[in-house]
Amino acid sequence: MTELALMLVVFILSFVIGYVLISRVPPLLHTPLMSMTNAISAVTILGALLLFAQPSMDLDEKVLGAIALITAAFNLVGGFVITDRMTGLFKSHHEPSGGGGKK
């Protein structure tokens, strides 16, 4: 029971600290922040894969691990798609004038 209480305290503390830190980030830095969040998701995937390497796992542990792995992978891919769209907003789409290429 104390282990569960400790995990809940860590979760709530990390939620509050994360919310306070993210709310103070200027909008200009949201794209690099998204990229770092994607890196954290990749670390989560590596952790789940390391847990799957353990020989003694019950079926319920394997199911929870698989769910964690799938959701972290979904978060990682979705984060990179959103980051790509956000960085695409900063690219210029102007055609060079003068037609320097051969016809």
User: Using an 8 Å Cβ cutoff, are 36 and 9 in contact?
Assistant: no
Q: Does residue 70 form part of some domain?
A: yes
Q: Does residue 7 form part of some domain?
A: no
Q: What is the mean pLDDT of the chain?
A: 80
Q: Smallest Cα–Cα separation from 31: which of 102, 90, 101, 83?
A: 83
Q: Smallest Cα–Cα separation from 72: which of 37, 46, 41, 49?
A: 41
Q: Does residue 66 form part of some domain?
A: yes
In whole angstroms, give the CA distance from residue 90 to residue 34: 15
Q: Does residue 98 form part of some domain?
A: no
Lowest mean pLDDT among 3-7, 59-63, 67-71, 99-103: 99-103
Q: Does residue 103 form part of some domain?
A: no
Q: Does residue 10 form part of some domain?
A: no
Q: Does residue 56 form part of some domain?
A: yes
Domain that holds residue 40: 31-90
Structure tokens at 82: 């959103």
Report how many domains make up the chain. Answer: 1
Q: Does residue 101 form part of some domain?
A: no
Q: How confident is the model at residue 97 (pLDDT cuts 50, 70, 90)?
A: low
